[in-house]
Structure 1
């Protein structure tokens, strides 16, 4: 039992502490952002070195270290995005009345460079760990990537809790692309697929050897946390306080969704 409990506790700690730390760094003066990014880049280099060094190691400690390396690789992209250093070619709010492809393209232009960066890092991990016995870092990164993309699309389509109060002032324009809704058509698919993935990973880890049990449980715990984060999008509760110590003292100005994107439809007929 302990071989499953400890990975869960480790994943929860890394998820909560890492998220809050990134938000805390983002609240420092903007002149510090390049130093923050330099530190993140050094951590990225160390994580990639660790990925290669652990590729053939199937010990329990290697599972934990591989998980940490995957999170550190992902953190580089998150820090680059939240500091505004790796975002997109556009920093403009959503054009008034924009819908359909016009709104989608405008939204994509605000995050395009970030999307390309995390794609490149994902492909790099695939190349480094191709046929490697220890692929925990890659699986960790893929869970973070897939579920974060799902969360982004759900917020774009419409959610109850948009988290706009967590946006720093230099990213306030992103809130204009959010929609406030009590439900959207993608959300049940995201929750169902994520829950099934958790069940498959848990089943894979039960009765397995030490390394397989640790690695599967770590990734399953991370996937479960991502599913819980998705539920946070729709629950009628203010849940930003989970990272209170890593958020600004007050919501930045002009972060509310555009009026035309605040809707209450239970099931949207269009994005």
Structure 2
């Protein structure tokens, strides 16, 4: 239980709670964003220092702390995007009627700085933990990135549930890059890849030769990937996922209803 069940419960809670906090803060008035990002930046630097300090810690505590520090760094990336401070050079809607490469280029321009910030975060994490045995922070950040990139591509190509209610008012132009469809060709591959990754990580966690550090670390990662897989499944279900974070979306009361996206 200590090596598998507790990490799963910890990941489930921290994923749900941190997502709600981010949604709540990014739904507040824009004049609060400066203080939000100052606080998030302080946590970012603390997390990088923390990752360096636990990089040689191969206990269960090291696995938890590496995972948590990586989550704080990812939270900065999400906050920077949802506040509108780190998005891309394009800050207007997709050209009406754009298709193919024109639409793709416009979409990339809308999130380019955000993607580069993720790369910078990955490089920073690799630098502070270079050559150390505890790499669960790096793998956690990679898992977040891959799952988020898959979600972005699927929303761009078209899914039933676009989760547009998660976008704050100042990012509503991002909806123009979404497409509502029952399914797209990438989605089954995304789900299959998620299932394979989850199974492999779970097997690594439960392997007889796994140390307590590895059992906890791989259990954290397996649960995180499973939650990402559930998020993907919600994309094609008739039930929106925002019901899980109504308390986080409470700061956006009074915003107009999302427009229909084709």
Tell me the TM-score normalised to structure 2 length: 0.96
* Matched residues, number: 259
1:149-188 equivalences under 5 Å are 149-188=149-188
Partner residue of 1:256?
A: 259
**1:2 CA displacement:** 3.1
Distance 1:98 1:252 in 2: 27
Once the two structures are superposed, residues 31-90 of structure 1 have per-residue CA deviations (whole angstroms, 9 ceiling, x without a partner) of 010110000000000000000000101111111111100100111110000001111111
Equivalent residue, structure 2, for 1:265: none
- Indicate if the aligned counterparts of 1:159 and 1:182 stay in contact, CA closer than 8 A: yes
Q: CA deviation at 1:253?
A: 3.8
CA RMSD, 1 decimal? 1.3
1:21 equivalent to 2:21? Answer yes
Q: Distance in 1 between matches of 2:239 and 2:103?
A: 28
1:101 and 2:101 equivalent?
yes
Contact between 2:159 and 2:235, CA under 8 Å: does it hold in 1?
A: yes
Once the two structures are superposed, residues 96-129 of structure 1 have per-residue CA deviations (whole angstroms, 9 ceiling, x without a partner) of: 1100010011111111111111111112212222
* Equivalent residues of 1:172, 1:253 under 8 A apart: no
Q: CA deviation at 1:254?
A: 7.3
1:165–1:252 CA contact under 8 A, matched in 2:
no
Contact 2:59 2:212 in 1 (8 A): yes
5+ unaligned residues in a row in structure 1: which ranges? 263-271
What secondary structure, in the 3-state scheme, does the structure 2 residue paired with 1:56 have?
A: coil
Residue in structure 1 matched with residue 233 of structure 2 by the alignment: 231
Match of 1:51 in 2: 51
* 1:83-122 superposed matches below 5 A: 83-122=83-122
Q: Give 1:237 deviation, angstroms.
A: 1.1
* 1:35 matched residue in structure 2: 35
Deviation, 1:91, is 1.0
- Work out the CA distance in 2 between the residues paired with 1:201 and 1:44: 27
* Whole-Å separation in 2 of the counterparts to 1:198 and 1:145: 15
Q: Give the equivalent residue in structure 2 for 1:269.
A: none
Q: Which residue of 2 aligns with 1:241?
A: 243
Report the 3-state secondary structure (helix = DSSP H, G, I; strand = E; otherwise coil) of the residue aligned with 1:3: coil
Cα drift, residue 131 of structure 1: 2.4
Q: Can you give the 5+ residue segments of structure 2 that lack an aligned partner in the other structure?
A: none
